[in-house]
Amino acid sequence: MKNHYFEFQIHNERHFQGMKDFFYELKVEKEQGTIDCSDAKWMDFFEEEVLQRFWWPTEEELHHFSEIWMNTPVEKRFTESQLQHPWDFESMIDAFANGEYELIFCEKISFNKGRIEFYPYAWPYGGNDVFRALIEYSSCEIIAESV
């Protein structure tokens, strides 16, 4: 397989820098197999405005979500409107940790455009939704993708 990528418009330089720093720290730990999904250090890469875009459910909200999930037919779980919510932060870290791909780079390719590349090992590799969330929550707009 060849590298897959997302190209995006950068709308906030600080948010992009946080995403870039996060990406490279994650890359190092993924290569070493040492990613701790519950480690609070991951939050330090992002400004409060970015973190607010994630879902931070209360115990009550998790319980309610679980009830709806269990009572929804399997074939409708991923389309049921009551089960739709933003990514929660720890799940994003977990998805990157367990995705079957190598993180290649996250860089600017022009003044206000960036690119993330990753190399999937095989299909299915865990999907690309986690990359999409990281980019969009970091105030960037996806303009091209190879996947």
Per the structure, the count of domains in the chain is 1
Task: Answer yes or no: are the C-beta atoms of 9 and 113 closer than 8 Å.
Answer: yes
Helix (H) or strand (E) holding 119: strand 113-120
CATH number at residue 99: 3.30.70
- Which tokens is 144 given? 């091209």
Non-local CB neighbours of 24 within 8 Å, separated by 6+ positions:
106
CA distance 4 to 105: 11
Asked if residue 1 has pLDDT above 70, the reply is no
Question: Would you say residue 33 lies in a domain?
Answer: no
Q: Which residue has the tokens 């931070």?
A: 56
Which residue range forms the structural domain that includes residue 142?
A: 1-14+86-147
Q: What mean pLDDT comes out for the span 46-65?
A: 93
Q: What mean pLDDT comes out for the span 60-69?
A: 92
Question: Would you say residue 35 lies in a domain?
Answer: no
Asked if residue 85 has pLDDT above 80, the reply is yes
